[in-house]
Structure formats: structure tokens, C-alpha cells
């Protein structure tokens, strides 16, 4: 049973590693800023899963996992959500001001609104 739990934990750890790579690629490579925010969330999910593997391997004393990494992941999920909300607000403001959702210099720049 313990060998099986071990394998399952490292499986999710490896999945976390893959998700980190995919999320990073999305952040670096995608032209659409909203998609980059989604990529940031995938990256975060991957890191949390690696933590989850650590927690699962620390199962002892009748617990399913080590509670300390679990608590850190809960904190992390909430903070990542706050960061996402801030990024989305910045993006919406950018779109309202420039009429573009990317940082490429080629984007057309209409005259800024009077309310800006």
C-alpha cells in the first residue's frame, strides 16, 4: 500500500512539473495577454501539485498527508487568485485605454479618452 501511495504521489509531482512547463510556455509565447493570465494560473497549479506530492509523501500518524504543505497550498491558491484578479483589472484598463489586448508595439493607438 505504501509503495502504491508513493508512486501515485510522484505521478502527480511529475504532472505538476509538466504543467509548470506548459504554463511557462503559455506565459512566454502567447501573444494574447488574457491567455497569458490563464497560463500563469496553470503554472501556479503545477507548482501546487509538486507541493501536493511533497505533502502526500509526508503521510504519517494516520494523516493522509503532511498538513503543513497543504496549508501552504491553500494560502497559495488564494494569493494566486488575488494576483489574477489584479492582472485582469490591469488588462481591462489597458484594453479600455488603447483598444488592444497585447503588448505588441504594432497595436494601433487611438487618441486617449478624455476620462483617462
Partner 1 sequence: MSLVFDIALVAGLIALALHVVVTRDGRGAILAFIAFGLLLGIGWARLASVDVALTETAIGGGLTGMLLLRAHAHLAREIAPEAMVRAEPRRWLAPAIACGLVTLALGAIVLAFPRPAPSLAHQAIASLETTGLGNPVTAVLLAYRAIDTLLEKIVLILALVGVWSLSRDAAWGGASQLRPAIIPEPLVFLARVLPPFGVLIAVYQVWVGADLPGGTFQAGTILAAMALLVMLAGLRPAPPTQARALRLMLAGGPALFVLVGFLGVAVAQGFLSYPEAIAKPLIVGIEAALTLSIAGTLALLVAGPPDRAPAP
Partner 2 sequence: MPESLTLTALFVLLASAAGLAIVLRSAIAIEKLMAVQLLGTGGAATLLLLGAATAQPALADVALLLVLLSAFSCAAFTLGESEPPQAATKPDEPA
Q: Which residues form the interface with partner 2 (CB under 8 A)?
A: 92, 96, 115
Residue 36's binding partner, choosing from partner 2, partner 1, none, with beta-carbon cut-off 5 to 8 A by kind? Answer: none
Q: 52 or 105: whose CB is closer to partner 1? A: 52
- Would you say 28 or 113 has its CB closer to partner 2? 113
The residue whose grid cell reads 501573444 is 31
Q: How far is the CB of 101 from partner 2 (least distance, A)?
A: 15
In the bound state with partner 2, the residue whose beta carbon lies nearer, of 8 and 75, is 8
**Residues 74, 80 contacting (CB under 8 angstroms):** no
| Minimum CB distance to partner 1, residue 110 (Å) | 9
Q: What angle do CA 48, 50, 53 make, to 5 degrees?
A: 110
State the nearest-atom distance from the C-beta of 92 to partner 2, in Å.
Answer: 8
| Nearby residues of 102 by Cβ (< 8 Å), 6 or more positions away | 31, 32, 33
Q: What angle do CA 13, 14, 16 make, to 5 degrees?
A: 65
Amino acid at each position: 500500500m505504501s509503495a502504491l501511495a508513493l508512486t501515485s504521489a510522484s505521478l502527480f509531482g511529475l504532472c505538476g512539473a509538466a504543467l509548470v512547463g506548459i504554463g511557462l510556455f503559455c506565459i512566454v509565447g502567447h501573444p494574447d495577454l488574457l491567455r497569458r493570465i490563464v497560463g500563469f494560473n496553470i503554472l501556479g497549479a503545477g507548482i501546487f501539485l509538486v507541493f501536493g506530492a511533497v505533502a502526500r509523501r509526508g503521510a504519517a500518524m494516520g494523516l493522509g498527508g503532511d498538513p503543513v504543505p497543504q496549508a501552504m497550498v491553500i494560502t497559495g491558491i488564494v494569493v494566486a487568485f488575488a494576483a489574477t484578479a489584479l492582472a485582469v483589472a490591469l488588462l481591462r484598463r489597458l484594453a479600455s485605454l488603447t483598444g488592444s489586448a497585447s503588448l505588441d508595439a504594432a497595436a494601433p493607438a487611438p487618441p486617449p479618452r478624455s476620462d483617462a
